[in-house]
C-alpha cells in the first residue's frame, strides 16, 4: 500500500472532508476520484470494524492475564517453531565478534550520555562497527536445536528465550556494503541482500511517516516479530512479551551506539501496511514491530 492510499484511508475513516484529504494525502482531484472508487469497500469495512471495537488496549491487558490463558501450543504437542527464520541467500560475512575490538566506553557513561539522535554526520559506519551493533542486539551466542524445541540465546533477554525477532537493515552508508535492504543472519553473523539500491531509503522513510532521519541515517534497523515463537510457549500472553522484548533490543542498540560515537532514534511511528509490504510480510505471522535509525554523531555532540 502506498502512502497516498494509506493517508486517504486514514482520513476517510475519520470522516474528514475532501479538502483535508486532498491536502493531507497529497492527492490530485483525479487521484482522489480514483481512490473513492477503488477503496469504497475497504472504507466501508474499516468503518464497520472500527465501530465494533472496544477499548482494545485495556482488553488486551485484561485478557492476556494468566487466568484467561489457554494451554499453549507447546503443551498440546504442536510442532515447535524455528528459533531463526530460515532465510537463504549469499552471505556477506561480517567480522567475527571474537575478532573485532569491542569499544570500551564505560557503561555508566553510555547510560548517562544516551539521547535520541535524529541528525547524523555524513560519515559511514565500518563493518566492525556494524558487527558490534548486531552483536549487542540480536547476534545468537548459543543455538540449540532438537526435534522438540529450538532455542537461541542472544545478548538481550527474551521471555522464555523465545527471541521472536529477525533483523532487517536499511543500509545507506556502511563501508564496503552496497546500499539496500539486508536480512541479518544471527547465527552466521552475516547479511543477505534482500533489496538492492539506494532508492529503498526513500521508500522506508515513507514507511516511517516520512521521518527524514531514516533517509539520512547510516543505517536503519527494522525488527520483525515472529509471534508464533513466543505464542507457542505462552499463548496470547506471548504478545505482551513481544513488545517487552523489543524494548531490550532498542536499549542495547542505544548503548552500543554510544560506544562507537554514534546515536540512535527508536521509531514506533511507521505505518504497518507499508513497512510490512516492503519486507514482504503478511502482517500476522510476521510483522514489523520496531525500528531505529542510527548514524555517527556530528562534530560537537558528545
Ligand atoms: C517505543 C518508542 C517509540 C518511539 N518512536 C519514535 C518515533 O517514531 N520518532 C521519533 O522521532 N522518536 C521516537 N522515539 C524516541 C522518543 O521520542 C524519545 O526516546 C523521547 O523523546 C525521550 O528522549 P531521549 O530518548 O533523548 O531521552 C520513540 C521511543 C520509543 C521508546
Q: Which residues of the chain have pLDDT under 50?
A: none
Q: Whose CA is nearest to atom 14 of ligand 1?
A: 266
Q: Whose CA is nearest to atom 23 of ligand 1?
A: 116
At 42 the pLDDT is 96
Q: From the alpha carbon of 115, which atom of ligand 1 is closest?
A: 26
Q: Whose CA is nearest to atom 28 of ligand 1?
A: 266
Pocket test for ligand 1, best of 119, 207, 248, 267 (most atoms within 8 A of CB): 267
At 302 the pLDDT is 65
Q: Which domains does the chain have, with CATH numbers?
A: 79-296 (3.40.109.10)
The three-state secondary structure class of 114 is coil
Pocket test for ligand 1, best of 265, 290, 301 (most atoms within 8 A of CB): 265
Q: What is the pLDDT of residues 118-162, one digit of tens each?
A: 999 999 999 999 999 999 999 999 999 999 999 999 999 999 999
At 99 the pLDDT is 85
Which residue has cell 549469499? 90
pTM for the predicted model, two decimal places: 0.96
* Separation CA 289–CA 297 (nearest Å): 26
Q: How far is the CA of 270 from the centre of ligand 1 (A)?
A: 12
Q: Whose CA is nearest to atom 25 of ligand 1?
A: 116
Q: What is the pLDDT of residues 236-256, one digit of tens each?
A: 999 999 999 999 999 999 999
CA distances from 26 to 2, 21, 23, 262, 273 (A): 12, 8, 5, 35, 18
Please state at what angle helix 40-52 crosses helix 29-38, rounded to 10 degrees: 60
In the 8-state DSSP scheme, what is residue 117? Answer: -
Amino acid at each position: 500500500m502506498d502512502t497516498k492510499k494509506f493517508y486517504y484511508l486514514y482520513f476517510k475513516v475519520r470522516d474528514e472532508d475532501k479538502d483535508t484529504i486532498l491536502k493531507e494525502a497529497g492527492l490530485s482531484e483525479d487521484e482522489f476520484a480514483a481512490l473513492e472508487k477503488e477503496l469504497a469497500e475497504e472504507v466501508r469495512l474499516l468503518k464497520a470494524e472500527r465501530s465494533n471495537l472496544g477499548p482494545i488496549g485495556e482488553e488486551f491487558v485484561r485478557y492476556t492475564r494468566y487466568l484467561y490463558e489457554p494451554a499453549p501450543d507447546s503443551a498440546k504437542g504442536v510442532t515447535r517453531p524455528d528459533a531463526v527464520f530460515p532465510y537463504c541467500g549469499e552471505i556477506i560475512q561480517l567480522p567475527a565478534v571474537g575478532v573485532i575490538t569491542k569499544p570500551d566506553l564505560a557503561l555508566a557513561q553510555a547510560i548517562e550520555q544516551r539521547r535520541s539522535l535524529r541528525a547524523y554526520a555524513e560519515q559511514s559506519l565500518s563493518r566492525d562497527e556494524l558487527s558490534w551493533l548486531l552483536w549487542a542486539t540480536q547476534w545468537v551466542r548459543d543455538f540449540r536445536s532438537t526435534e522438540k524445541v529450538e532455542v537461541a540465546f542472544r545478548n538481550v533477554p527474551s521471555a522464555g528465550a523465545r527471541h521472536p525477532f529477525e533483523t532487517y537493515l536499511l543500509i545507506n552508508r556502511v563501508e564496503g556494503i552496497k546500499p539496500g535492504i539486508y536480512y541479518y543472519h544471527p547465527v552466521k553473523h552475516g547479511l543477505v541482500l534482500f533489496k538492492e539500491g539506494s532508492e529503498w531509503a526513500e521508500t522506508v522513510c515513507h514507511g516511517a511517516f516520512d521521518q527524514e532521519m531514516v533517509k539520512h541515517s547510516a543505517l536503519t534497523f527494522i525488527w520483525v516479530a515472529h509471534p508464533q515463537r513466543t505464542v507457542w510457549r505462552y499463548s496470547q500472553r506471548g504478545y505482551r512479551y513481544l513488545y517487552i522484548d523489543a524494548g531490550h533490543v532498542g536499549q542495547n542498540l542505544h548503548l552500543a551506539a554510544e560506544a562507537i560515537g554514534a546515536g540512535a532514534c527508536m521509531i514506533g511511528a511507521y505505518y504497518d501496511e507499508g513497512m510490512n509490504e516492503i519486507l514482504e510480510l503478511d502482517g500476522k505471522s510476521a510483522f514489523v514491530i520496531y525500528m531505529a535509525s542510527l548514524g555517527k554523531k556530528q562534530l560537537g555532540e558528545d
